[in-house]
Every structure is written in C-alpha cells, then in structure tokens.
C-alpha cells in the first residue's frame, strides 16, 4: 500500500490569482518545490482542484490544459513526480461526482495506485478540502495561505478537532515529516 498527499492547487501550491487562463499568472510559493521534494520521499503526490470557472465559461479548456501541462513541467524540472492532476470543471449546481468534497477522484486514485488513505493527507485552504479529508478518513491539513484566513472561521468545531491547521505548505510539510519520524502518523489526526 502507498501513502499519498492530495494537494489543493490554488492557495496551496500556487498563489490564488482567481481564474487563471494564462501560465504567466501561475506563481509558485517559494517553498513549494522543496516541500514536494521532501514529501515525495514518503508519499505519492497528487493535485486535486475544483475549477468551476471552466463550466462558467471563464476559463478555457485549452488554457486549463496548458496550465496543467506547465505545472507538471515545472514539477519535473525540480525532479518532482506528480502522479495525476485531478480537476473538476463543474459548478456546484451541476451536482457532479468529482467536485471536492466528493470522493470520486480519490476513489479512483485509491484503486489505481493502491493508496492507504488512513495514512495519507489532504492539504488545502478551503473547508471543502477538509471535508474531503474527513470523508475519506485521511489526515486533513488546513493551510492559511490563499483563502485560508478568510475561510478559517467556516470550519466547524468537529472539523477543527479532526485536522491540523498550518500557516502554509511549508509548516504542513514539517508537521507531516515530524509525524512520520515520531511514528505517530496513524490515528494522530482522529
């Protein structure tokens, strides 16, 4: 069984610039590559992102593809292997199966890459990332970058109890690595 980290895209590994149509608007945090290099020693890495701007006609499908190809290239330049970018392009009202916190993408990753979800992580700056983590019984880390500060107060008591809150991906990475070294990973996060 493999462990995985499911990373949100906007506000977690790149700055949240709203709806992006152009690769020049992709700004990686200065710690992103170092963090992912560390994490991939112990985890398979995935990006999981909701991009409703596509269904709304604000983001072009060709732009989205170009952006994700660019992200994968940049990762590759740093020796980082992102196994998949899972992207929901629907709006909430489309009631699709793949929009976070729905588990469709995680379910397929679990089967395809035989992932041990209980020892895996979901990291993101939105309550839907946390809801997803709790649904799949993985460990959730809420980061305060992107929209994290703004959405923090939307987390309910039960969610706050079950997750870790970190200032950014860098401290999330340190938290994860520490929990591996202590052997306290499993069950640590409720």
127 binds Mg ion (CB under 5 A): no
User: Which partner from the list Zn ion, Mg ion, none does 131 bind, CB cut-off 5 to 8 Å by kind?
Assistant: none
Please list the residues that pair with 30 across neighbouring strands. Answer: none
Tokens of 50: 């909701």
Per-residue contact flags (x/-) with Mg ion for residues 76 to 115, judged by CB under 5 A: ----------------------------------------
For residues 18-42, b (16+ Cβ closer than 10 Å) or e, as one string?
A: eebbeeeebeebeebbebbeebbee
Among residues 14 and 98, whose Cβ is nearest to Zn ion? Answer: 98
For 14, the 3-state DSSP assignment is: strand
* Positions in 29-68 near Mg ion (CB under 5 A): none
x/- mask, Mg ion, residues 129-148, rule CB under 5 A, reads -----------------x--
Is 8 one of the annotated active-site residues of the chain?
Answer: yes
Q: Assess contact for 169 and 29: CB atoms under 8 A.
A: yes
Site residues (vs Zn ion, CB under 5 A):
88, 90, 96, 98-99
Nearer to Zn ion, 43 or 86 (CB): 86
Query: Would you say the C-alpha torsion 27, 4, 166, 150 has a positive or negative sign?
Result: positive
Of residues 88 and 185, the one with the C-beta less far from Zn ion: 88
DSSP E strand boundaries for 51-187: 82-88, 121-124, 139-143, 164-166
Q: Is 10 a catalytic residue?
A: yes
Backbone angles phi, psi at 122, to 5 degrees: -120, 130
Q: How far is the CB of 53 from Zn ion (least distance, A)?
A: 13
Considering 8, 116, 125, 129, which one is annotated as catalytic? Answer: 8
CB atoms within 10 A of CB 101: 18
Q: Of the two residues 100 and 110, which places its CB atom closer to Zn ion in the complex? A: 100
Using CB under 5 A as the criterion, which residues of the chain lie in contact with Mg ion when the complex forms? 8, 10-11, 125-126, 146
**Residues classed as catalytic:** 8, 10
């Amino acid at each position: 069984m493999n462990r995985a980290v499911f990373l949100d895209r906007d506000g977690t590994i790149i700055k949240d610039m709203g709806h992006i149509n152009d690769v020049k608007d992709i700004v990686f945090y200065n710690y992103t590559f170092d963090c992912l290099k560390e994490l991939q020693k112990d985890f398979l890495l995935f990006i999981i992102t909701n991009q409703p701007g596509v269904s709304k006609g604000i983001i072009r499908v060709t732009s989205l593809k170009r952006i994700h190809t660019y992200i994968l290239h940049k990762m590759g330049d740093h020796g980082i292997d992102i196994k998949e970018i899972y992207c929901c392009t629907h709006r909430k009202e489309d009631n699709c199966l793949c929009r976070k916190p729905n588990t469709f993408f995680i379910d397929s990753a679990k089967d395809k890459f035989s992932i041990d979800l209980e020892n895996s992580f979901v990291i993101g700056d939105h309550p839907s990332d946390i809801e997803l983590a709790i649904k799949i019984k993985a460990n959730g880390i809420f980061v305060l970058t992107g929209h994290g500060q703004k959405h923090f107060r939307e987390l309910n008591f039960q969610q706050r109890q079950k997750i870790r809150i970190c200032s950014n991906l860098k401290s999330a990475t340190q938290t994860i690595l520490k929990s591996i070294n202590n052997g306290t990973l499993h069950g640590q996060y409720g």
